[in-house]
Amino acid sequence: MNAARITGIVLIVLGLAGFFTGGFSFTKDSTKAEIGPLKLQVQEKQAVNVPQWLSIGAMVLGAVVLVAGFRKP
């Protein structure tokens, strides 16, 4: 497999994952206060939404790159 085919497959898989999950969330630890030996930490949950148009665009671009990878120069 050449690089174009692998890139096309990766784009299609990422587009499908973004389309079906709609985004992802993660927990971020941050220090709010530090007084001597005492440390106050807060865990914040943050979410990142992946727009559907971006997921569909990644799938279409992946398909184009995949088809272009099969064509002979």
Q: Which residues, other chains included, contact 22 with Cβ-Cβ below 8 Å and sequence gap of 6+?
A: 49, 50, 52
Sequential pLDDT tens for the chain (73 residues): 688 889 999 999 999 998 999 888 999 888 888 888 888 888 899 998 989 999 999 999 999 999 988 876 6
> What pTM was computed for the model?
0.68
Q: Which residues, other chains included, contact 57 with Cβ-Cβ below 8 Å and sequence gap of 6+?
A: 15
Distance CA 42, CA 30 (A): 5
Residue 43: count of CB within 10 angstroms of its CB: 8
Distance CA 54, CA 18 (A): 8
Distance CA 11, CA 62 (A): 5
